[in-house]
Amino acid sequence: MEIEDWPGHRSYEVIHQQGAAAVLPLLPSDEVLLVRQFRPAVRRTLTEIPAGQLDVEGEDALACASRELFEETGYRQRVIEFLGGCYASPGVTDEYVHLFWARTEREPEGDPEEGIEVVRMPFLRMIDAARAGRVRDAKTAIALLIAAARPPLQ
């Protein structure tokens, strides 16, 4: 964290991050793959889309999203496309999250990371949950709402 001074403004505490990528994975059955894991900062277990920081040298956001999908769920994508992006919490950090969605293979090729539980939920049910404000993770809610407005991913 740094204290930054801006002319004409007060001093601000700013956390600089390298950015992140997240992916909304859809199974051929039109279920969403979500990951349930404990998040110490909010002191609770959250259900969210796979995501991770852009912390591998030379890796772009698309490659990061693909890697995180496999590491966190054991699934690989057949097709992956850019959805959009968002600043995670611009009041305190410059972290930008690149959002993707992917059509996965039918079955996983690996195991999820330790501490992660993979959850399958119907896509339309998750869109309804996001619209109703029941999805607590911002990147997950935003990805679901953007995807709901797009033609189906093949």
The pLDDT of residue 25 is 98
The pLDDT of residue 6 is 74
Give the mean pLDDT of the chain: 94
Domains for the chain: give ranges and CATH numbers. 2-148 (3.90.79.10)
Q: What is the pLDDT of residues 4-48, one digit of tens each?
A: 777 888 887 878 888 999 999 999 999 999 999 999 999 999 999
The pLDDT of residue 75 is 98
The pLDDT of residue 68 is 98
φ, ψ of residue 94 in degrees (nearest 5): -95, 10
Is the distance from CB of 118 to CB of 35 less than 8 angstroms?
Answer: yes
Q: CA 12, CA 60: separation in Å to the nearest integer?
A: 29
The pLDDT of residue 90 is 87
Give the 3-state secondary structure of residue 21. strand
Q: CA 41, CA 47: separation in Å to the nearest integer?
A: 14
Give strand pairing partners of 25.
102
What pTM did the predictor assign?
A: 0.92
Residues of the chain scoring pLDDT < 70 = none
The pLDDT of residue 16 is 83
